Amino acid sequence: MVRRYDPDRRRRIIDAAIRVVGRDGIAGLSHRTVAAEADVPLGSTTYHFSSLDELLVAALRQSNEGFGATVMGSRVLTDPECDLAAELARIVGHWLTSDRAEVERCYELYLAALRRPALRPVAGEWIDEVVGALAHRVDEGTARAVAALVDGLCLEVLLTDRPYDEEYARAMLARLVAPAAPVDPL
């Protein structure tokens, strides 16, 4: 089938790249494997993405959007009375348990930045988004610590096959976001 006008082709190529990474890892990604997965001519992948790094950047950015949309759509950002630790623990738990394969693909792309410098700015975007989103609730240092804790909790679940413990996550997040106790002068 010849598609002359295909406005969704770029998006389908990115979706296909994410599926290839999920199935075959970063090492299995090539313009050819993505073209086959997306059911598009090989030239389409190189037209839209001149390099694999460019394709991986787009795939990582799209993967980041899933978790980011969940956080941005949560009442944790709009309701100052919301229990920040409990809501974040719930969001992380929902993300980890709703589609584990998606989470694994996200982290595979995220961690690819260790070996592919082109991905590092995009990996940092996720952290900056979380920090920016939490800016009205906690200071920047605390927001960065929350992002690091969330990453650690997710990696622990993914790498050890331990079940996600929402209560533990809530308790650890509560330690980070709790207001500092006044210091008693000596």
Reported as a single tens digit per residue, the pLDDT across 22-43 is 899 999 999 999 999 999 999 9
Task: Please give the mean pLDDT across all residues of the chain.
Answer: 88
**59-177 — its CATH code?**
1.10.357.10
**Torsion from C-alpha of 123, 84, 101, 125, nearest 10 degrees:** -10
Reported as a single tens digit per residue, the pLDDT across 81-108 is 889 999 999 999 998 988 888 888 889 9
User: Helix, strand or coil for residue 128?
Assistant: helix
Residue 181 in this model has a pLDDT that exceeds 80: no
DSSP category for residue 76:
T
DSSP category for residue 41:
-
Q: Which two tokens stand for residue 168?
A: 């533990």
DSSP category for residue 94:
H
User: Helix, strand or coil for residue 25?
Assistant: coil
Percent of the chain beyond pLDDT 70? 94
Q: Where are the domains of the chain?
A: 1-50, 59-177
**1-50 — its CATH code?**
1.10.10.60
* Angstrom distance (rounded) from CA 79 to CA 82: 5
* Angstrom distance (rounded) from CA 18 to CA 12: 10
| Residue 180 pLDDT | 58
Query: Do residues 81 and 72 touch, judged by C-beta distance below 8 A?
Result: no
124-140 b/e (C-beta count within 10 Å ≥ 16 → b): eebbebbbebbeebbee
CA distances from 130 to 32, 72, 165 (A): 35, 9, 21
Percent of the chain beyond pLDDT 90? 61
Q: Closest Cα partner for 20 from 8, 6, 38?
A: 38
Phi-psi region of 179 (alpha: psi -120 to 50; beta: other; left: phi over 0): beta
* Angstrom distance (rounded) from CA 173 to CA 154: 13
| Residue 3 pLDDT | 54
